[in-house]
Structure 1
């Protein structure tokens, strides 16, 4: 076992606790740690994945202008009306440097981002 994995659970215990309590900053930090491949990322993932998933995951793909953001906004709105918390991870693999369509997605989903029950994260 590497030193990273050995001490990783203790290193991330506070972040994992806050994540499991639904704290948005903890979610954002956990994503940043894993996305950036920072030291301890594997240990953090192992700790977070130690429980069965409690969320549904839906993937939406399509060409520019197909209505992905509109569909996401409608889905999120419906789920929020049911009282559910929602996380949106917008990924644009075609534009790793500029963010491409992600800026447009965030602008179209701006109303959602002010809802405390909605977490939106853009990733290139």
Structure 2
């Protein structure tokens, strides 16, 4: 299963990427293998972090950065860390709704991750997923 998902990932298949993230986020047995197989090929990919209080304009700024990168024909993946729902344990928000100009773009992948109680606005698995 992991082999097929990794092939999908390198073929820019968003479903495969989403499933790999879920495995890593849930600390599946395969998560270390996934990271070790993908990281060497991705380590030169730039990572940009946006943080700040609610309503400050993070999603607006992020959307503008994505639009600029897409003009340069770059693909973009966004991992948004959201507060955790006390009912489901999952992410509450979903920044893709606030980034209406880019969320349907085939070259953009947006995924929300629940903070799962981690402090400082970063989910425990954010680094592994990015």
Q: TM-score range by the shorter chain?
A: 0.7 to 0.9
1:45 aligned onto 2:45: no
Query: What is the RMSD of the two structures over their aligned residues, measured on CA atoms?
Result: 1.7
TM-score w.r.t. structure 2 length?
0.76
Q: How many equivalent pairs are there?
A: 110
Inter-partner Cα distance in structure 1 for 2:57 and 2:39: 32
Looking at CA atoms only, which structure, 1 or 2, has the larger radius of gyration?
Answer: 1
Aligned to 1:89: 79
- State which of 22, 35, 56 in structure 2 corresponds to 1:32: 22
When normalised by structure 1's length, the TM-score is 0.79
Unaligned runs of 5+ residues in structure 1 are 1-10
Higher helix share: 1
Any gaps of 5 or more consecutive residues in structure 2? 115-130
The residue aligned with 1:3 is none
Change (3 A) 1:84 1:51: closer
How far did 1:37 drift?
Answer: 1.2
